[in-house]
Amino acid sequence: MNFSYTFLVPLIPFAVFIFLGFFYNRIKENISGWIGVAGLTSVAVLSYYTAIQYFYHTPKLDGKFQTFVYSVNWMNFTDTLKVDMGVLIDPISVMMLVVVSTISLMVHIYSMGYMHGDRGFTKFYAFLSLFTFSMMGLVLATNLFQIYIFWELVGVSSFLLIGYYYEKPSAVAAAKKAFIVTRFADFGFLVGILLVGYYLGSFDFQYLNGPEGIAAAQKFGSIFMGFSVIGLALVLMFMGGAGKSAMFPLHIWLPDAMEGPTPVSALIHAATMVVAGVYLVARMFPMFNFVDHGSALHIVAWVGAISTLIAAIIALTQFDIKRVLAFSTMSQIGYMMLALGVSGYDGHEGVGYMASMWHLFTHAMFKGLLFLGAGSVIHAVHSNLMQDMGGLHKYMKITSITFLIAALSIAGFPGFSGFFSKDEILIATFHHNRPIFYITLFVAGLTAFYMFRLYFSIFWNKKTHYHHTPHESPLTMTIPLVFLAIMSIVPGYFPFTEWVTPDKVGFHGHIDPMMASIATTVGVLGIGLAYFFYFKPTDYPAKISAAFGTFYVWTKNKFYIDELYLFVTRNIIFKYISGSFAWFDKKVVDGTMNLIGNSTVVGSEAIKGVQSGKVQDYAFAFVGGVIILVIVVIYML
């Protein structure tokens, strides 16, 4: 099979971006929308074609899925350390192609309705295309450096799209925060990449994840707390991944990123970009698994577990529906991380890896749907707050039903896709790390609860009085909802275990009835509790939150992590470090230079009297000089 045509997958959105970027003030809204959708449709078609070709029509080699690499030399650091640009086709990249192109296409279609009449419509589509280009480049990267390049590019597109409503100060602040926090994480990523490049002499995934790369990486002795230098590099790379994937403690940008337009939140901050960190770990999985006996994976697992727990707890208390979804995203990505973290490599041991990827896939679909549904609601009531909503089921049947499907899916209700992927994660954690298993199970319950709290508060609960009667969104917005609703069910029945495993061999998966019943019980418990609390207006929530007291206040304020960061950056870094540098520069460094300048002035002031203008003084000095010279010549020499 020849997959070299997949070069087109990133290049088509790039061409669209260039075109829309250059003619942004000369094209009509409709046309730029259709150009964007047409470009993305072709990308989606190519991606689906690739997926079908790859999984069904490409012969396996030694029972493994083959890896195809097509690349060109882009830059050389040394004669041996080269950076290529190209495409790499293997199970996870093909899977990601499908995820990104599906969600992106849906968002493109959806935005035609959602952004209708916006001043920067063309700009919006240009940015969306830029993002899609970068994300595709990231997904298809053949080497660490290419992944870093596109990693930065998705960061920038995210910055541009979060700050899309640039006249809102909060949006500007959020965009800045997102970029700087992820940039800080990327600093670690870059150092990690450079260390790997230096010690292993290559950035290439094929080499690094192959037997030679692993063997070379295992040679290094432990230098710090049981980590070898390569292990440290992997931890640093995971830092980059944690930044992009909003893992604790680098998650602070994600909730604020909801300032962007809702379709952007769906595309970037729910389905695609935020899972880049998961994808990175999965991409480097053999390294993570084999270097230092998987010490780095332990960190991945625990960071994921802590994030999923914290995010789920915070999500219980938020009232902004997009923020609830943002914390839910963080929590679900924590799931994927911890599943990767507990995974092994061979055969059935790789169930965590498989579950993580599967969950990535299903999560992208149902979380994209939840965001688009939330967007549809916001579009109707012009508010983000739960208090302003209620009883919307009557007005927006399609949104309500699709939202319910997504909520059931994320809650792990049997039959929906989330049920299957979450089940596999539970199995993986149960067999490999018991404490994390309990966390995962607990969070599963919390997830069901806060999702249905959200669902009931929006679509049922009290009958809010609206100024304008809310109505169902236009067709361009509901078609993606329906499509994604279908996609929130169907992927559960894909044979993922045979497609995506670390060793690329695949195994025959099955549902563990024991685990499934436990998970279902927990999920239904959460849903039932939410029904009891929120289906009709009650005063239980107020009572419960009062009972938790301080803990509730802390949770509602996201454990004051933002405030801590603000304190550190604003009061310590800006004020003391940066301020003192500026002061030092002005007073000390520049002062020294000025002192040198001024001292010549002072010195010349002191001796300028010598030039008195009196000719006799000069004559006297002259004669005196002659006499001294004479004395010197006669008596001293």
Residues forming the site for another protein (CB under 8 A): 25, 73-78, 81, 145, 148-150, 152-153, 156, 159, 163, 166-167, 169, 171-173, 175-176, 179-180, 183-184, 186-187, 190-191, 194-195, 197-198, 574, 577-579, 581-582, 585, 589-590, 592-593, 597, 608-609, 611-616, 619-620, 623
Q: Which is nearer to another protein, 129 or 402 (CB)?
A: 129
Question: Who's near 438: CB < 8 A, 6+ residues apart?
Answer: none
From residue 139, how far is each of 89, 109, 187 by CA, in Å? 9, 22, 20
Q: Which is nearer to another protein, 560 or 581 (CB)?
A: 581
Q: Which is nearer to another protein, 183 or 348 (CB)?
A: 183
* Nearest-approach distance from CB 506 to another protein, in angstroms: 35
* Nearest-approach distance from CB 273 to another protein, in angstroms: 15
* Nearest-approach distance from CB 433 to another protein, in angstroms: 33
Kindly report the number of other CB atoms within 10 A of residue 26's CB atom. Answer: 9
* Nearest-approach distance from CB 349 to another protein, in angstroms: 34
Q: Give the number of residues written for the chain.
A: 637
DSSP string, 149-184: HHHHHHHHHHHHHHTTSTTSHHHHHHHHHHHHHHHH
* Nearest-approach distance from CB 625 to another protein, in angstroms: 13
- What six digits make up the tokens of 174? 């959020």
* Nearest-approach distance from CB 559 to another protein, in angstroms: 24
- DSSP E strands, 21-174: 68-76, 82-89
* Nearest-approach distance from CB 461 to another protein, in angstroms: 36
* Nearest-approach distance from CB 144 to another protein, in angstroms: 12
Q: Which is nearer to another protein, 188 or 390 (CB)?
A: 188
* Nearest-approach distance from CB 19 to another protein, in angstroms: 16
Q: Which is nearer to another protein, 116 or 176 (CB)?
A: 176
Strands 227-228 and 222-224, bridge-based pairing: antiparallel
Q: Which is nearer to another protein, 163 or 341 (CB)?
A: 163
Residue for token digits 């003030």?
25
Q: Which is nearer to another protein, 27 or 172 (CB)?
A: 172
Q: Which of 252, 35, 5 is nearest to 128 (CA)?
A: 35
Q: Which is nearer to another protein, 550 or 616 (CB)?
A: 616
Q: Is 73 helix (H, G, I), strand (E, B) or coil?
A: strand
Question: Who's near 276: CB < 8 A, 6+ residues apart?
Answer: 135, 138, 151, 154, 241, 244, 245
Q: Which is nearer to another protein, 44 or 171 (CB)?
A: 171
Q: Is 423 helix (H, G, I), strand (E, B) or coil?
A: helix
C-alpha span between 307 and 561 (Å, rounded): 13
Q: Which is nearer to another protein, 61 or 180 (CB)?
A: 180
* Nearest-approach distance from CB 141 to another protein, in angstroms: 12
Question: Quick check: 261 and 158 in contact, CB under 8 A?
Answer: no
* Nearest-approach distance from CB 371 to another protein, in angstroms: 24
Q: C-alpha dihedral over 266, 269, 273, 278, to 10 degrees?
A: -110
Kindly report the number of other CB atoms within 10 A of residue 202's CB atom. Answer: 18
Q: Which of 315, 216, 270 is nearest to 559 (CA)?
A: 315
10 Å CB burial of residue 148 (0-12, 13-18, 19+) is: buried
Question: Who's near 509: CB < 8 A, 6+ residues apart?
Answer: 351, 354, 424, 495, 496, 497, 498
Q: Is 545 helix (H, G, I), strand (E, B) or coil?
A: helix
Q: Which is nearer to another protein, 490 or 623 (CB)?
A: 623
Q: Which of 378, 369, 409 is nearest to 396 (CA)?
A: 378
* Nearest-approach distance from CB 16 to another protein, in angstroms: 16
Strands 82-89 and 68-76, bridge-based pairing: antiparallel
* Nearest-approach distance from CB 94 to another protein, in angstroms: 24
The amino acid at 214: I
DSSP string, 351-381: HHHHHHHHHHHHHHHHHHHHHHHHHHHHHHH
C-alpha dihedral sign at 211, 212, 215, 218: negative
Q: Which is nearer to another protein, 69 or 144 (CB)?
A: 144
Q: Which is nearer to another protein, 192 or 350 (CB)?
A: 192
10 Å CB burial of residue 217 (0-12, 13-18, 19+) is: buried
Q: Which is nearer to another protein, 2 or 78 (CB)?
A: 78
Q: Which of 459, 453, 465, 455 is nearest to 538 (CA)?
A: 453
C-alpha span between 265 and 284 (Å, rounded): 27
Q: Which is nearer to another protein, 511 or 588 (CB)?
A: 588
* Nearest-approach distance from CB 572 to another protein, in angstroms: 12
Kindly report the number of other CB atoms within 10 A of residue 434's CB atom. Answer: 10
Q: Which of 300, 365, 367 is nearest to 335 (CA)?
A: 300
The β-bridge partners of 76 are 82
* Nearest-approach distance from CB 626 to another protein, in angstroms: 10
